[in-house]
Structure 1
Amino acid sequence: MLKEAKRRIGIVGYGHVGMYLVQRIQEEGESHNVELAFVWNRTMERMEGAVDPRLQLQHLSEFEKCNADLIVEVSHPDITKEYGERFLSAANLLIGSPTALSNPDIEQKLRETAKTCGHTLYIPSGALWGGEDIQRMADRGNLKALRITMTKHPNSFKLEGALRKTTLQPINSRTVLYEGPVRDMCPMAPNNVNTMAAACMAAHTLGFDRVIGVLVADPSIPDWHVVEIEVTGAKNEKTGQEFTVTTKRCNPAAPGHVTGSATFLSFWSSLLVCTGHGGRVYLC
């Protein structure tokens, strides 16, 4: 019996999540039948002494030559904007910055590319708790509303545009930075609200325009990222009662980090699931 070929993984981005995934593949890849195809980062020096020079991809535009089976983007939504279609044409794609999909043109192009090429566009659950249940409700047509509140220490935010101005001033108490459709928030907090973007993909009947996001800065929680999810389902026609689910996830986080510690393991679990599920979008 022939031994199954190892799945070759390309890692795009060598920040905290990228470092973690590379290390896990280096240490445990043999037992999971995976190996590194390449690692790319904007600043190549960051990989010195940690990544075999033969695996360091100097120019991202040349990724095809590495023959990756799965490409994992854990860099910035701009990467998906520039390379998403090419990535998905060549391999399965795990998009760690799903805020990129708040651009309807990008979402549509990637959906079409997945369908045409037969590769899977994977959306990692990350810090989203209950994503599969939300997706099932959407599939059944029972999902009526979804509201997500993310609370972090002010130093954990990397904001852009209008929201950036709010963090330039000292925040001394719990402050709501934004409340409204997730689509409008994604360009202003591209590194902070990937959980909300993943929820929008799971809640596909609501999407980025009807899922409501609330972003809160709270200096009293320097070591935590808190995600609260409020799901509203169908109303019972006889009693008028609504189905509701509320969850609160408290994720330990190093001060100033945009990613909570439990999310790293979630990404690793998602990576292992990405074995190919056909030309579609798949929450993992």
Structure 2
Amino acid sequence: MATTNSSTMRIGVVGYGHLGQHLVERIIKDGAGLGLTLAFVWNRNPHKLKGSVPDQLILEDLSAFKTRECQVIVEVCHPKIVKDFGVQFLTHAHFLVGSPSALCDPLLNQQLRHAASHHGNTLYVPSGALWGGQDIQRLNDSGALTGVFVRMSKHPSCFRLTEDTLSDWTEGEGRRVLFSGSVAELCPLAPNNVNTMAAVAVAAGTLGFSGVRGEIVSDTALRDFHVVEVEVSGANGFSVHTVRRNPAQLGAVTGSATYSSFWHSLLVCKGHGGRVYLC
């Protein structure tokens, strides 16, 4: 079980893309005053870390993470890491999963939940670009949630799809619906783009990945923003519709406001028992 009584929380960061770099820089810059310090940083290409991360903090072999004492491990790279190492991470530390789209796999979802419960560590799911996640969770827990629909619209350069759906896009073509269906079906198609939808599916646990509906839209007019729309319905005609415009550069998978959101999610990771916790 992760030890959280120490005044300093040791963080392992897995992945060094834009979000990983942001977290590492914030921990180095602001961590001391917040009781945070780096335990290790891993990247698929360790050479990318040279000169940016102190040599003693570079972990070249991820399977050796057990040799570094840490209370929280943060994954910010790819769902495959969650599949290959998530259960192992939870045997030693709390785990903040930056690719919750991996949880669409029912077996992996069950294994991670079991590991969290068995070892008394928390599987943290960041809200990311989701607005009102705790409200959805409360409605779900009360038994009054009846439906959730999420639409994510982005410039086509911002999508990373596993299928060749967008290879023919042209600037100025406007709006194109790429997929509409269950989040369970959508996650394998766009694993790097729909982590917000995965967070919704975790919050709406009675509906889950198969019951939450999702849609991704390519829109060449969205050169400066990602747009996330969430429609929630409940008992007795209750409904909420939110629209979030998240500033983002062309080609960016993650909107800029999500970096701050993720950082604040990390600050929450101080141990909430052997369960799944939306933060």
TM-score, normalization by structure 1: 0.95
Q: Does 1:281 align with 2:276?
A: yes
Q: What displacement does 1:266 show? A: 0.4
User: Aligned residue for 2:11?
Assistant: 9
- Secondary structure of the residue aligned to 2:178 is strand
1:227 alignment partner, SS class: strand
Q: Residue 59 of structure 2 aligns to a residue in which SS?
A: coil
Gap runs ≥5 in structure 1:
236-241
Contiguous gaps of at least 5 residues in structure 2: none
**RMSD over aligned Cα, in angstroms?**
0.9
Aligned to 1:170: 169
Letter in 2 for 1:46: K
Post-superposition shift, 1:4? 4.2
Which residue of structure 1 aligns with residue 254 of structure 2? 259
> Counterpart of 1:84?
86
The 2-side partners of 1:259 and 1:96 are apart by 11
Q: Which runs of 4+ in 1 moved over 4 A?
A: none
Equivalent positions of 1:182-201 (< 5 A) are: 182-201=183-202
Match of 2:51 in 1: 49
Offset from partner CA, 1:8-34 (integer Å, 9 cap, x none):
000000000000000000000111001
**Counterpart secondary structure, 2:103:** helix
Instruction: Show CA shifts across 1:129-168 (max 9, x none).
Output: 00000000000001000000000000000000xxx22211
Q: CA deviation at 1:49?
A: 1.3
Shift of 1:114: 0.5
Matched, 1:227 2:222: no
1:5 Cα deviation from its structure 2 partner: 3.1
Find the residue that maps to 1:205 and give its secondary structure. coil
Partner of 1:96: 98
Q: Alignment partner of 2:26: what SS?
A: helix
Give CA deviations for 1:42-66 in whole Å, capped at 9, x if unaligned.
0112112110010000100000110
Q: Secondary structure of the residue that 1:10 maps to in structure 2? A: strand
Aligned to 1:133: 135
- Segment of structure 1 superposing worse, 262-271 or 41-50: 41-50
Structure 1 counterpart of 2:211: 210
> Which of 241, 244, 264 pairs up with 2:239?
244
Q: How many residues align?
A: 273
Identity %: 53
Pairwise CA distance, 1:206? 0.4
The residue type equivalent to 2:242 in the other structure is: T
Partner of 2:28: 26
For residues 70-112 of structure 1, give each alpha carbon's deviation from its aligned partner in whole angstroms, at most 9, with x where no partner exists.
0000010000100010000110000000000000000000001
In structure 2, what residue type is equivalent to 1:167?
A: L
SS in 2 for 1:144: strand
Match of 2:69 among 67, 79, 99: 67
2: CA distance, partners of 1:122 / 1:115: 13
TM-score, normalised via structure 2 length: 0.97
Q: Quick one: which amino acid aligns to residue 64 of structure 1?
A: K
SS in 1 for 2:216: strand
> Partner of 2:238: helix, strand, or coil?
strand
